[in-house]
Structure 1
């Protein structure tokens, strides 16, 4: 365990290389947490908690003149400044037939932010994967998703790995120069008995680390789907993971207490906390949203 701070539904961890700090969200509480990491003690210390005013699924660095971070939040996207000011950008799900929210998201090496939507009621096929380009335009990259979750990009940005949780798969796509997704293929298939694939990150060797909701673990897979390693977590609902620390060799893992009964919370007392593990490989620096000047 990396800290005592407990969220209701911790998600979307991101190591900000500019600050050398970890950020993650408490999704339904609408909070973005920023913490320093004591490498000697292996402990996180929360410095700031920024209220967003809406559910928030992901946070990524923004390297534009305004700095701060880009969020997948509410029904679309927002900018969070270092002083806590929230500026709402496009809200593509604001007028959907169902009550929708944004879920997981990642920036790509080309400076765009990708994030998926889902219904609060988890109705099948009503979500979409969106791309917020550096010029501020929003494009629907994929439709008919249900619980849009983990994303990871190859270092050159040519491949996207994507999880729609109910499929029990990690899918692989080619990303064209204009951002179009082609060549869908299955990269990893996960048996339901192991848990449900949620958030995801990629390491410097090109392998995928998949958080398993209900599985009390993070699994490492090759891009061809071979299971290489298992990190056990002392909480059942493992939501996401990312590499961080000064050398990007610490795996930070978020967990959730969402929908747990009082008895379950007592039995799994660390649910909602952030864990860390030394796993013998390094990650890649977080890609940032890069708005066009």
Structure 2
């Protein structure tokens, strides 16, 4: 299967696609911009962020929570205003928030990383009812995901530079257990980037530098592969009326002028159909 172009964005670092109600939300991290695409009418709305922005998720308060460089913020689409909830890694000014997921209890699990992609300063945190705590997942240079299983009992964490994905149990209190190997990749596939879980517990992995996204079942067996006309695939979201339309963000970051000539659609948003539906994203409890 091949992905088809959907939105011409040319994002430096497109990321964080998520289906909320009837719209696709996503960001350009390095462009400091938040987007909302409404397929029903073709609208594309956008807001500038005051810092690097990695993700947004819905909130029980009816607004959104956004992951800015300095920490999670409450975001109002009506006013465009951001209000900080908590400060993260204040002692690490080169760090930024990168990716996130919400579990069925409304807890947000999110990762940080060194923006220069050198120091192993990336941690995975939990935001639960307004309180932030660090999980026991070991620090890495680039955290990605996490993805949360539909029943909320498993978390999948990506160490992008090590090209590995580990699985961690989540207990009733939201504490994350020790790492168990799930997937490991060679240089041929590119680097695993964003991950999500579908309604059957399958894991979709986007490959940065890999020209593809792939789905693996809960036992780690590859079931699907989708090829792209661009190399840097960053994350997949499953949305649409039946949650069977995939949306993928991509990036221009790191591509040479020659590569960009060969990949004029780099940084755009793509789409393709899937057989197994996604899940409705629960609102965060913060």
Question: Under a length normalisation based on structure 2, what TM-score does the superposition of the two structures give?
Answer: 0.94
Match of 1:14 in 2: 18
Pick the aligned partner of 2:60 from 42, 63, 77.
Answer: 63
Higher deviation after alignment, 235-244 or 112-121: 112-121
Question: In structure 1, how many angstroms separate the alpha carbons of the residues matched to 2:264 and 2:67?
Answer: 28
Pick the aligned partner of 1:236 from 231, 256, 264.
Answer: 231
The answer to whether the aligner puts 1:89 opposite 2:89 as a matched pair is: no
Q: Deviations over 1:174-193 (max 9, x none)?
A: 11122211142111222221
Contact conserved, 2:112 with 2:123, CA < 8 A, in 1? yes
1:25-44 residue pairs with structure 2 within 5 A? 25-38=27-40
Question: In structure 1, how many angstroms separate the alpha carbons of the residues matched to 2:121 and 2:191?
Answer: 19
Q: Deviations over 1:135-175 (max 9, x none)?
A: x1110113412101122111221111111112212111011
Question: In structure 2, how many angstroms separate the alpha carbons of the residues matched to 1:2 and 1:221?
Answer: 24
User: Cα distance, 1:273 vs. partner?
Assistant: 0.5
Q: Find the residue that maps to 1:193 and give its secondary structure.
A: helix
User: Cα distance, 1:47 vs. partner?
Assistant: 2.9
Q: Find the residue that maps to 1:50 and give its secondary structure.
A: strand
Contact conserved, 2:32 with 2:51, CA < 8 A, in 1? yes
Q: Deviations over 1:225-266 (max 9, x none)?
A: 111110001110000001000110001111000122222112
Pick the aligned partner of 1:53 from 44, 47, 50.
Answer: 50
Match of 2:132 in 1: 138
Contact conserved, 2:212 with 2:227, CA < 8 A, in 1? yes
Contact conserved, 1:159 with 1:174, CA < 8 A, in 2? yes
Match of 1:127 in 2: 122
Pick the aligned partner of 1:73 from 55, 68, 82.
Answer: 68
Match of 1:275 in 2: 270
Structure 1 runs of 4+ with >6 Å offset? none
Pick the aligned partner of 2:179 from 173, 184, 196.
Answer: 184
Match of 1:118 in 2: 113
Q: 1:145 to 1:287 in 2, by over 3 A?
A: farther
The answer to whether the aligner puts 1:100 opposite 2:104 as a matched pair is: no
User: Cα distance, 1:46 vs. partner?
Assistant: 4.4
Match of 1:263 in 2: 258
User: Cα distance, 1:26 vs. partner?
Assistant: 0.5
Match of 1:162 in 2: 157
Cα root mean square deviation, aligned: 1.4
Query: Structure 2: where are the runs of 5+ without partners?
Result: none
Contact conserved, 1:33 with 1:46, CA < 8 A, in 2? no
Q: Find the residue that maps to 2:139 and give its secondary structure.
A: strand
**Number of equivalenced pairs:** 280
Question: Under a length normalisation based on structure 1, what TM-score does the superposition of the two structures give?
Answer: 0.92
Contact conserved, 1:3 with 1:45, CA < 8 A, in 2? no
Question: In structure 1, how many angstroms separate the alpha carbons of the residues matched to 2:169 and 2:283?
Answer: 20
Higher deviation after alignment, 124-133 or 227-236: 124-133
Question: In structure 1, how many angstroms separate the alpha carbons of the residues matched to 2:194 and 2:248?
Answer: 10
Q: Find the residue that maps to 1:145 and give its secondary structure.
A: coil
Contact conserved, 2:150 with 2:198, CA < 8 A, in 1? no
Question: In structure 2, how many angstroms separate the alpha carbons of the residues matched to 1:193 and 1:144?
Answer: 25
